[in-house]
Structure 1
């Protein structure tokens, strides 16, 4: 049995649980007839995109020598754990009729974007050190996203959230394009 046969399902369970939580929260939110706001819906979509991006990248690196040691794999495991927590924080777990998603978004923005910032820093370190390739844009973009997410964690100003959310979305779309070139 090769390493990919063991590691891919293990990481898949963690990421899959995060995706299941995200989708279940989306289902409950829709069924509870909450008052929607575009920012939490936007970030739910971007979180789903992050799951897809992670799964695409991990399916490629699990077969590489990058995860050849327990220490490297243990460090890399921080990425799916942070992604799980991000998925769990995107939408509320509690179902309440008529609750406002805008209120939820700004009540939890520090936690959600703190997780995103931690994920960006961890992802940059993981990619940069494991591949030794700080010349690619991936770790640098992850650090920029982490900085922008920190900005969102520190402010409640809606205009800042609108502009910075658009910047992060553009960077993530750029990263998807870079994955097709590097993997």
Structure 2
């Protein structure tokens, strides 16, 4: 039987704040993608960059979708609140690294992406790890309900992100992107297709 929050006001308070951060993420991604459509020649498009933007858009939407699970938390502490806000903020930082205010001294998004790949993939690895902490704080039973695939998936994606910080081979980045997108789509369809 699911345990609902004893103080629904606390749940709403937390959801509103992370909703603001999530909204900033979506706005950053959509503005960046729209700018690419508006100025395709000026922006020198890069498929890996666009792919990660689409991955993040899906991941941010998924994050907001599954955070309904915060209703399982009976008692909110500042530590739990801090973790959820840090998780949402990490999404924003990752989106901001992907779409800066200006590409700057780099001649293309490809150049920009690879000059910032350590930051991007480091933040991505952090997101995969924060997801496990977020899931664990919703209770051991909730964490176990995802089976052994979940921690293996998250750990594997985090390890690939750490490796991607130093690998420049385009094929690796494309393969990792395709794997991450497939894993995210599978995970959503398998575990989160219906909001409970």
Task: Give the alignment's TM-score, normalised by structure 2.
Answer: 0.81
Which is further off, 41-50 or 15-24? 15-24
Task: Tell me the residue number matched to 2:18.
Answer: 11
Q: CA offset at residue 67 of structure 1?
A: 6.0
Q: Give the count of matched residue pairs.
A: 181
Unaligned runs of 5+ in 1: none
Tell me how far apart the structure 2 counterparts of residues 70 and 12 of structure 1 sit (CA, whole Å): 18
Unaligned runs of 5+ in 2: 1-7
Tell me how far apart the structure 1 counterparts of residues 137 and 25 of structure 2 sit (CA, whole Å): 26
Tell me how far apart the structure 2 counterparts of residues 181 and 73 of structure 1 sit (CA, whole Å): 25
Residue pairs, 1:144-183, within 5 angstroms = 144-177=156-189, 178-180=191-193, 183=196
* 2:107 aligned with 1:105: no
Q: How big is each residue's C-alpha offset from its partner over 1:80-106, in whole Å with a ceiling of 9 and x where there is no partner? A: 01111111111232167x932211121
Q: Would the alpha carbon gap of residues 73 and 49 (structure 1) be closer, same or farther in structure 2, given more than 3 Å must change?
A: same
Task: Tell me the residue number matched to 2:52.
Answer: 43
Tell me how far apart the structure 2 counterparts of residues 46 and 180 of structure 1 sit (CA, whole Å): 17
Residue pairs, 1:55-134, within 5 angstroms = 55-58=64-67, 60-65=68-73, 68-94=76-102, 99-133=107-141, 134=143
- Contact kept? 2:87, 2:130, Cα under 8 Å: yes
SS of 1:10's partner is helix
Cα RMSD, aligned residues only: 2.3
Task: Give the alignment's TM-score, normalised by structure 1.
Answer: 0.86
